[in-house]
Amino acid sequence: MTTEPAGVDWLESLVGTVDWGTKPVLQADWAGVEGRLGYRLPSDHKRLVERFGKGTFDDGYIDLPAPEDLAAWGLFHEQTGALPWASNEHELLLCWVTDAADPHTWPVW
């Protein structure tokens, strides 16, 4: 869920801030990933992963898994209702709380 002012693309602002390349670095089979998860994923997350790819930012400050790795969290999600989408340097999981049908409204926990 994003809260940028109308007309501002948060991803392009981030890309410009970190001086990243101009092209996406990852093509993902989102339909396959979402099919295995049983959920649609937020489009802003898909854009982030496609642009930056799997990896670690700022020496572990945030780690983005490969899209296909999200499906491995199925049991955790079933038990908690939270779906991890990243982790950080303190080994904490950043999760969506998937309590709504629209993934664009999921809060991060």
Q: What DSSP assignment string belongs to 9-37?
A: -HHHHHHHHHT--SS------HHHHHHHH
Mean of the pLDDT values across residues 69-79? 87
Q: Check pLDDT > 70 for residue 24.
A: no
Q: Check pLDDT > 90 for residue 97.
A: yes
Q: Check pLDDT > 70 for residue 67.
A: yes
Mean of the pLDDT values across residues 88-109? 91
Q: Highest mean pLDDT: which of 21-25, 62-66, 69-73, 101-105?
A: 101-105
* Residue 1's pLDDT band (cuts 50, 70, 90): very low
